[in-house]
């Protein structure tokens, strides 16, 4: 699984870098379409990770909300976050998620989830008169501020670590991105949630621009493969599996404001053992530039 994800990502990056190689290098596209606003205000993924870079000393405040709905279960998250540009190519993203409403059958819970800090470094930037490329590496750590004892749990009970990479290409009208990654969990008292491997891809198009606003649509394909959990050293047979969501969304932004909303549906889902199926997800993101 990991080898296939890396191979697909490399092929996509090489293909996009080769495409339109006739364009003039060391130049920038005209300020039209997707380029009418700064890069931080240009369209990006809603559900997928990464592509969160800012200029040095700039900051943004976000409120992200989602609702994953399945058979006799749902999970509603509210995630405030602060994004800060350490340098022009290195940013840090701090998030403090809150479980507004978790339900699994008759069991319900609320409370703080595991907080996270994520660094993203843009190691490759390439600009021509036709398009802009960027590739980043993402590394993060999650603190066990949630609760493993609640049912449903709002945390994994121990620190976890994230590592991934992203690539995006933006044209005046179109854009495309890909982002493989992995969340690696740790064990505590014989309990360990399974590692998760992410494989994500998306594309979209500028709809129109007004004097102040940029509007776009996009479609994301977000896959997650989860290993089985261990409880008191024993493998839980009713855990782990694979699911892929397709999530169309709408984007609107100004030089200071971002709004995005989407609805996702499982393209495929295969879970181990006895687990309930997912039906759909709702997601929204609001962001403001801070000066």
Query: What would the pLDDT profile of 156-199 be if each residue is shown by its tens digit?
Result: 999 999 999 999 999 999 999 999 999 999 999 889 999 999 99
Locate the domains of the chain by residue range.
Answer: 2-290
Tell me what pLDDT residue 93 has.
Answer: 98
Domain 2-290: homologous superfamily in CATH:
monomeric porin ompg (2.40.160.40)
Whether 250 shows a pLDDT value over 50: the answer reads yes
Please give the pLDDT value at position 27. Answer: 84
DSSP letters for 208-220: EE-SS-EEEEEEE
pTM comes to 0.88
Question: pLDDT tens digit string along 217-239?
Answer: 999 999 999 999 998 889 999 99
Mean predicted lDDT score pLDDT of the chain: 92
The per-residue pLDDT for 21 is: 42
Residue 13's pLDDT is what? Answer: 52
- Long-range residue pairs from 159-163, CB within 8 A, at least 24 positions apart, any chain: 159/186, 160/114, 160/184, 160/185, 160/186, 160/193, 161/186, 162/49, 162/116, 162/118, 162/138, 163/137, 163/138, 163/139
- Per residue in 86-139, pLDDT tens? 999 999 999 999 999 999 999 999 999 999 999 999 999 999 999 999 999 999
């Amino acid at each position: 699984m990991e080898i296939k994800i890396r191979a697909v990502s490399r092929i996509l990056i090489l293909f996009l870098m080769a495409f339109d190689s006739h364009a003039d290098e060391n130049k920038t596209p005209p300020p039209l379409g997707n380029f009418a606003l700064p890069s931080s205000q240009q369209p990006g993924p809603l559900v997928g990770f990464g592509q969160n870079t800012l200029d040095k000393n700039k900051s943004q405040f976000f409120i992200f909300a989602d609702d994953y709905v399945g058979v006799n279960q749902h999970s509603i998250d509210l995630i405030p976050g602060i994004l800060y540009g350490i340098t022009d190519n290195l940013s840090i993203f701090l998030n403090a998620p809150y479980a507004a409403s978790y339900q699994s059958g008759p069991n319900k819970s609320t409370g703080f989830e595991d907080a996270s800090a994520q660094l993203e470094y843009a190691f490759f930037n390439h600009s021509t008169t036709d398009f802009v490329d960027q590739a980043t590496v993402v590394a993060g750590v999650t603190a066990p501020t949630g609760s493993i004892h609640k049912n449903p749990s709002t945390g994994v009970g121990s620190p976890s670590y994230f590592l991934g990479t992203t690539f995006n290409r933006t044209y005046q009208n179109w854009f495309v991105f890909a982002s493989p990654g992995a969340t690696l969990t740790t064990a505590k008292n014989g309990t360990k949630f399974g590692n998760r491997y992410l494989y994500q891809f998306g594309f979209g198009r500028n709809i129109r621009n007004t004097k102040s606003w940029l509007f776009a649509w996009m479609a994301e394909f977000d896959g997650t493969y989860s290993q089985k959990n261990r409880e008191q050293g024993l493998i839980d047979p009713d855990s782990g599996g694979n699911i892929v969501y397709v999530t169309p969304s709408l984007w609107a932004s100004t030089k200071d404001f971002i709004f995005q909303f989407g609805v996702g549906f499982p393209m495929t889902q295969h879970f181990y053992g006895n687990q309930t199926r997912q039906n759909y997800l709702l997601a929204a993101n609001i962001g403001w530039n801070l000066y």
